[in-house]
Structure 1
Amino acid sequence: MKPKNAVMLLLTSLIWGTAFVAQSVGMDFLEPFTFNGVRSFIGGVTLLPCIWLLEKMNGKPEVDGTRKDLIQGGIACGLLLFAASSLQQMGIQYTTAGKAGFITAFYIVFVPVLGIFLKKAAGWKVWMSVFLALIGLYFLCIKEGFSIGKGDIMIFACALVFAVHILVIDYYSPKVDGVKMSCIQFFVCGIASLPFMFLTETPQIGNILDARMPILYAGVMSCGVAYTLQILGQKHANPAIASLLLSMESCFSVLSGWIILGETLSAREGIGCVLMFVAIILAQLPDKREKLKNGQA
């Protein structure tokens, strides 16, 4: 992998990790559906000039799919993103930014496990990853009396939906322009948030303006900039190494929660974080068969 590609992917994970802080701070002013709705619309608008710039630099990408595939993929991804981000935003009210980041990263283990149902074989490393991650999740979330915080449950469900979201992207991305599909998904996510925002919450312009910094960071940086960096960074990159670099998001979420919000993790929670991160890394390492298939030594 070229150094510039690695830098772009690390910047992506840094932006996504620190976005947990923005989400946590944003909840001081806005309710979940309002935050996600506004954030998603900002993300979609941010990607519009990115699409124009990429086409100006590289021309229109060659894709095998049709316009119908692009729209179907964008809508499917947008609805899944709405479900996952809503669960995440509601859950983050009841847990720390660091824990939310680590539990959300559980999707990296879920993806290969769900792939079994799509007739994709899983090796021993996948099952070892699941085992380690479950132990890590126990240390991270199970408190005295074997209770689990409701925020942790919501974030866990969010990770599962994100795993499905990734598999849908994996299906459509070879067929369509990924940046355009992402732009559509953000607008769909924003539109899906509107009825819940107006029926269950009390959105006010003043509160949105008060939350302008975290919501702009989450919308512009996390949605628009980070996604574009991911697309550019993964070009001609080994997918296993790219995934490993992107999984650093969980570390950055803990570090940013500690530095910016003053959050702390107990020794027990720290052990859980380490075990989950080891599981995430192990799940992304290619096995010997994949190396041989790719012509590697």
Structure 2
Amino acid sequence: MPSSSSSSSSSQVKGKHTLTRKRSKSINFQGTNEKTPLMPLAVKSGGGTTSFDDNIDYDDDDSATTKLVAKGRAILCLVAFLYGTLNVSLRLIYQLDSPPTAAALSSTRGWLASVCFVPLLLWKQPTAGTSSTTTTTTTTTTSSDSSVMSGSADSEGSSSKSTSSPIWMAGLELGLWNFLAQGLINVGLLSVGSARASFLTQTSVIMTPLLSIAAGQTVSKSVWVGCSLALGGLTILSGGGGGGMDSASSSSALLAFSSGDILILTGAFSWSLYLFRLSKIAPQFDEINLQAIKTTVLAMFYTIWLGVSLWQNPEGTTWAWATNGVAWLALIYSAVAPGTVADILQQQGQKEVSASEANVILSLEPVFAALCAWLLLGETMSGLESVGGGLILLAALVATR
């Protein structure tokens, strides 16, 4: 369309371009043939001259995004540390006389973690109306601005919101994947050695980026390298799944999959699905609300597991540990820090970090567990374990480049 600057109002400002506002809501820069859609400009209240500054710094948005991603990575490192302390606290419980079964411990810890959300939900309750109003106002403003910049933006946002699942559905899904990850691995351990099970579980580091690719996402080369290094380091820490066998028998054993192996691999895949779906769901819901639902769902699943184990073997479950104060202190800690707090922080971190990168960072868990075991339990790492830990640290550094 030819320019019609003669019939439109314009203003000349020193150091600025002469702008011509047209009915078609575009801006024509005098002396050029370029037209751009009308962008939000600085307008004086009461109707003044509209100007477009030549010196706008478009790097601010990139800088803010970089800071958010760095914050997400730091949060996930803290989560990995908290998960590392979980291993130490559970090991302390299992060293007691007459320790609880896995089902009894998981069920008790699950309900303790659920109770920890109650004060957080009560604290949030008085501000719920204000938060809702603020969210509505922000959404309305954003939609209004988007409609000026692009006519399709508003409909895109509406479509996204209309297809998002309710929060209880999201919590149920996350709880299911989390339970399957833990439950299938525990069942697989009944017929698979711990070293081999650890090796098979660690394949989730590779499964997560494969899930991302299957969903049409791009995984950077640095993340792939980080995943490979993390898998190598975790394999060394677990003994490579071969125990004391020679390399030939170890290789043949790794290729001979049993039903227990399949259960553990399915558990690892469930954990990858949990991380992948959490990165998708995290930006849609409040951390406390979503994780409270997920934790309660998880506690229900653990209770069903406990009920089945009691029905199958009522004499196999002992409750003597319930009178031990140390056991309860360790359980309460495991429910609060590596439970409630870690779940909330993990969702915050995965709002800014991809699932593949998050999995690499969370693979630091055994490194922190070894450090905590050294400080609190007096355990030491072998030279080979130190190499494995070093590879995992390198993996985290490479993946976050």
Q: What letter matches 1:280 in structure 2?
A: A
Q: Distance in 2 between matches of 1:131 and 1:10?
A: 19
- Evaluate the alpha carbon distance shift between residue 51 and residue 277 of structure 1 in structure 2; reply closer, same or farther with a 3 A threshold: same
1:129, 1:283 within 8 Å by CA — same for their partners in 2?
yes
Partner residue of 2:320 out of 186, 206, 225: 206
Q: Which moved more, 1:191-200 or 1:139-148?
A: 139-148
* Partner of residue 100, structure 2: 30
User: Any idea what SS the aligned residue of 1:120 has?
Assistant: coil
Shift of 1:123: 2.6
User: Any idea what SS the aligned residue of 1:173 has?
Assistant: helix
The C-alpha deviation readout for 1:35-60, integer Å capped at 9, x for no partner, is 11111111111112112324446754
Task: Please tell me whether residue 75 in structure 1 is matched to residue 172 in structure 2.
Answer: yes
Q: Distance in 2 between matches of 1:31 and 1:53?
A: 34
* Partner of residue 21, structure 1: 88
- Root mean square deviation, CA, Å: 4.1
Shift of 1:110: 4.0
* Partner of residue 277, structure 1: 393
The C-alpha deviation readout for 1:45-79, integer Å capped at 9, x for no partner, is 11121123244467546495799621111111111
- Evaluate the alpha carbon distance shift between residue 69 and residue 260 of structure 1 in structure 2; reply closer, same or farther with a 3 A threshold: same
User: Any idea what SS the aligned residue of 2:283 has?
Assistant: coil
* Partner of residue 280, structure 2: 171
1:84, 1:159 within 8 Å by CA — same for their partners in 2?
yes
Q: Which has the higher contact order (CA 8 A, sep 6+)?
A: 1
Q: Distance in 2 between matches of 1:7 and 1:162?
A: 21
Q: Distance in 2 between matches of 1:22 and 1:192?
A: 22
1:21, 1:253 within 8 Å by CA — same for their partners in 2?
yes
Task: Please tell me whether residue 51 in structure 1 is matched to residue 121 in structure 2.
Answer: yes
Q: Distance in 2 between matches of 1:219 and 1:189?
A: 13
Q: Distance in 1 between matches of 2:343 and 2:272?
A: 17
Q: What letter matches 1:214 in structure 2?
A: A
1:105, 1:250 within 8 Å by CA — same for their partners in 2?
no
User: Any idea what SS the aligned residue of 1:174 has?
Assistant: helix
Task: Please tell me whether residue 161 in structure 1 is matched to residue 228 in structure 2.
Answer: no
* Partner of residue 188, structure 1: 297
- Evaluate the alpha carbon distance shift between residue 264 and residue 110 of structure 1 in structure 2; reply closer, same or farther with a 3 A threshold: farther
Q: Which moved more, 1:110-119 or 1:4-13?
A: 4-13
Q: What letter matches 2:321 in structure 1?
A: N
* Partner of residue 85, structure 1: 182
Structure 1: gaps of 5 or more residues: 286-297
Shift of 1:4: 9.7
Q: Distance in 1 between matches of 2:333 and 2:361?
A: 21
1:69, 1:175 within 8 Å by CA — same for their partners in 2?
no
The C-alpha deviation readout for 1:82-126, integer Å capped at 9, x for no partner, is 1223456676xx769xx97x9978755543232111111223223
2:202, 2:231 within 8 Å by CA — same for their partners in 1?
no
The C-alpha deviation readout for 1:196-238, integer Å capped at 9, x for no partner, is 2133254444323432122111112221233345566x59x96
Task: Please tell me whether residue 268 in structure 1 is matched to residue 384 in structure 2.
Answer: yes
- Evaluate the alpha carbon distance shift between residue 46 and residue 105 of structure 1 in structure 2; reply closer, same or farther with a 3 A threshold: farther
- Evaluate the alpha carbon distance shift between residue 217 and residue 155 of structure 1 in structure 2; reply closer, same or farther with a 3 A threshold: farther
* Partner of residue 121, structure 1: 218
1:18, 1:256 within 8 Å by CA — same for their partners in 2?
yes
Higher helix share: 1
Task: Please tell me whether residue 252 in structure 1 is matched to residue 322 in structure 2.
Answer: no
Q: Distance in 2 between matches of 1:182 and 1:197?
A: 22
1:88, 1:155 within 8 Å by CA — same for their partners in 2?
yes
2:230, 2:392 within 8 Å by CA — same for their partners in 1?
yes
Q: What letter matches 2:235 in structure 1?
A: Y
Q: Distance in 1 between matches of 2:389 and 2:328?
A: 31
TM-score (normalised: structure 2): 0.56
Q: Which moved more, 1:76-85 or 1:153-162?
A: 153-162
Partner residue of 1:218 out of 323, 334, 339: 334
- Matched positions, count: 277
User: Any idea what SS the aligned residue of 1:22 has?
Assistant: helix
User: Any idea what SS the aligned residue of 1:144 has?
Assistant: coil
Q: Distance in 1 between matches of 2:322 and 2:264?
A: 24
Q: Distance in 2 between matches of 1:87 and 1:277?
A: 28
- Evaluate the alpha carbon distance shift between residue 135 and residue 89 of structure 1 in structure 2; reply closer, same or farther with a 3 A threshold: same
Larger Rg over CA atoms: 2
| Superposed counterparts of 1:234-249, under 5 Å | 234=349, 239=353, 243=358, 248-249=364-365
